[in-house]
Amino acid sequence: MTPTVTEIFAGCGGLALGFEQAGFDTKLLVEYDKDCCDTLKINRPKWNIIHDDIKNISFKKIKTDVLTGGIPCQSFSVAGKRLGFNDTRGTLFFEYARAIKEINPKIFILENVAGLENHDNRKTLTTILNITEDLGYNVQYKILNALNYNIAQKRKRIFIVGTKPNLTFKYPTPNKKIKTIRDVLKNTKNPEYTPYSEKRKHILNMVPPGGSWVDLPDAIAKEFMGKSYNSTGGRRGMARRLSWDEPCLTLTTSPSQKFTERCHPDETRPLTIGEYAKIQNFPNSWKFCGSLSSKYKQIGNAVPVNLAKKIGQQTIKSLQKENDTKR
């Protein structure tokens, strides 16, 4: 039988698409954001998609082999205020735990930013591990860098995996070859992007491929960076131009914010929607709904499809071993 998967906090489909490519039958997707739901529906009209607050949904009648999801990560991100469980988005973990309890899947997979590992002196992660272990799972976690899984992007994420006692899960083996932007930005469609202001364009014209604010004349750098010029960290993303021969920096929800600049290697412009999608491994056929800023946000928050596929393939191996022992 084809293994089944249910996903909550599904976003625009990176994790679901990867699991589909790995061989899973998508049972149900739950997502609160309307644009994400529209994206899912237009690309996979046969998928069962619920657009609602997870707090309103009962999972007691859902039967599925695997439960996946990436709880909203802003609460634990180093780019945010790191409020964790004091933020209403952080408390959504408890809704994920409720879904585990009601569905009782054979395996659950929870994805989040790498900063979750040490958030609040590891108290947040410890709470997550303790709660899921109390639900009857053997739980492990590992931080994976998308760079090592056929993805031209430096993107670290934590994957927490819980298995029933009769199952084992092994994380995918890293690839030896590292992909660069040059390897993936071919035949890119969807040229939408928000142009820079003339002032920002003038500044970025001075930055070489692979460079950043450190390559600007000192007086211009001071004016552009303001108070950040004298800070001790978190500045390297400012006035950052990508390089063809390197992987992309972590894609954020906007490529043109001052601290998360993702300027094209040759042209003085942010990466387009199509380029964003290609770096996240979405096929050219995958359409994104909503405003331009919404599309960037959807793609920037997604799990890279190739990484999701690798995780899905390892999950299927775990389920197959269970079936083998029953024979």
**Residues annotated catalytic, as ranges:** 73
Please report the sign of the dihedral spanned by the C-alpha atoms of residue 307, residue 95, residue 62, residue 105: positive
Q: C-alpha angle with apex 243: 239 to 249, nearest 5 degrees?
A: 65
Q: How far apart are CA 225 and CA 229, in angstroms?
A: 5
Find out whether 315 and 18 touch, Cβ atoms under 8 Å: no
Q: Which two tokens stand for residue 147?
A: 């760079």
CA distance 128 to 122: 10
Estimate the crossing angle of helix 292-301 against helix 34-43, to 10 degrees.
80
- Which residues pair with residue 66 across a beta bridge? 5, 107
* Closest by Cα among 169, 130, 177, 174 to 156: 174
Tally of residues, the chain: 327
Specify the 3-state DSSP secondary structure of 69.
strand
Which residue in 27, 22, 30, 37 sits closest to 6, CA to CA? 27
Residue 152: Cβ within 10 Å count? 23
Strands (E), the chain: 4-8, 25-31, 49-51, 66-69, 107-113, 138-145, 156-163
User: Could you tell me if 116 and 144 are in contact, meaning their C-beta atoms sit under 8 angstroms apart?
Assistant: no
- Give the angle subtended at the CA of 204 by the CAs of 198 and 208, to the nearest 5°: 155
Do residues 71 and 100 lie in contact, with contact meaning Cβ atoms separated by under 8 Å?
Answer: no
